[in-house]
A and B are shown apart, each in its own frame.
Chain A
């Protein structure tokens, strides 16, 4: 046994085995078996409708697998209470879906669900981290798309997750905001020792940031490997 503090880069933190989801006779995710290692950034690429989002929603159990298993930190995730699982496996989606109110209200949402009130300086620190210093009291109604996505990222980080799922976090943004969010994600993954699964339809983005790339097609994993191996195969 390795103590949690000594976790090496090669430890498997999240794994799926023969994971499938069928809805109304349609197979959205088809027999996916992958291992994701601690502090790795895995990109999931593939054409629109190939089941990338469906796969991601199985990883934090927003949807229920029809068959197969997901193992998180060595444990079948059905044994972990859903709220605890979702706190540890954070998620950021294409649209920010901020809750009405201030930026600070949004950042402190996760901890507040467990009865923890986030100190203001911690909120400010997180906002500096995502490049929005002094935004704490701003109303979310007045944010640009890029700013909203940064708040959404900070809101997920406020839960101190160990894994972060990102579902096309830059595809609703203009070029400039997209580059900003992309480098922010890279910085966060390095600094906070996060494991990250990034869904993107942008092969360039995948090869820029990912350690490994999974190619999805029709709900199946077509190829897995380093960006150069997979994208130029």
Chain B
């Protein structure tokens, strides 16, 4: 319907963005009626998301004509940015930025590197950047879920954890039930993506490839490849962040440092 009124790609794009932003606002109004206030959070997030993605679109336009090594540089910058965003999700956890950046770099970075070497991801910037960023974004979400769940569980169970320590348990052992739970919980989205692939979810890569004229069969296979890579990157990220957080949760004298009094958000 919109394309009947808006002809050029720019006008059409803006109109489509306006309609979807309006839909998001309706959700805020619905939440408001249940006394959940998202408006300031969402308004900012929408605006920020729109500005960022438009800026990246323009930069991509320039990058498409740049040498291939700039792709690696851009991905590294994205990992740092992802670490910074994750840190805010993990407020009150010690070394949140270091843990997040390291986990995302290990999880997403290693999958990108290995798969590019193997030729699963093309080194062309048009392929490396969108797929790389998808892996980094998913690793970031997984890391946020992991740390968030770990903190909540530890704060709810300081009594059990300190009881285990008081009985002579190693710090890692005393939080094992909670690091296992946060690892499992953080992988639910990635596992559900794999499971629902094609049925509930025909994601972006496939849509893009179909739009640019690839064979539907190859587009479908490659979509599976991407989702499988997302799962691998997420799993590695969560593994690394649980390992790191459970060592940072204690002092060298094996005392629990995450306590209910710490800033919670």
Q: Which residues of A contact B (CB under 8 A)?
A: 60-64, 78, 82-84, 86-87, 90-91, 93, 95, 97, 99, 109-110, 113-114, 155-156, 159
Contact with A along B165-178 (1 / 0, CB 8 A): 11111100100000
Q: A86 vs B255: C-alpha distance in the bound complex, in angstroms? A: 11
16 A-B contact pairs sorted by A residue (CB < 8 Å): A61-B253, A62-B162, A62-B166, A62-B256, A64-B253, A78-B253, A82-B254, A82-B255, A83-B168, A90-B166, A91-B166, A93-B159, A99-B163, A99-B164, A110-B167, A113-B167
Q: Report whether over half of chain A's contact residues are helix, strand or loop; otherwise say mixed.
A: mixed
- Contact indicator B255/A109 (Cβ below 8 Å): no
- Contact indicator B159/A95 (Cβ below 8 Å): yes
- Contact indicator A86/B163 (Cβ below 8 Å): no
Which residue of the partner chain A has the closest CB to B159? A97
Question: Which A residues are CB-close (under 8 A) to B162?
Answer: 62
Task: Determine how close the nearest CB of chain A comes to the CB of B158; give it in whole angstroms.
Answer: 10
Chain B, interface size category, equals 10 to 19
Q: A95 vs B168: C-alpha distance in the bound complex, in angstroms? A: 18
- Contact indicator A113/B173 (Cβ below 8 Å): yes
**A61-B255, A62-B255 known; A114 and B168 CB under 8 Å?**
yes
Q: Does B251 contact A (CB under 8 A)?
A: yes
- Contact indicator B167/A86 (Cβ below 8 Å): yes
- Contact indicator B251/A113 (Cβ below 8 Å): no
Q: A60 vs B256: C-alpha distance in the bound complex, in angstroms? A: 13
Q: A87 vs B163: C-alpha distance in the bound complex, in angstroms? A: 12
Task: Determine how close the nearest CB of chain B comes to the CB of A153; give it in whole angstroms.
Answer: 12
- Contact indicator B170/A99 (Cβ below 8 Å): no
Q: A95 vs B160: C-alpha distance in the bound complex, in angstroms? A: 10
Q: A90 vs B166: C-alpha distance in the bound complex, in angstroms? A: 7
- Contact indicator B167/A155 (Cβ below 8 Å): yes
Q: A184 vs B173: C-alpha distance in the bound complex, in angstroms? A: 30
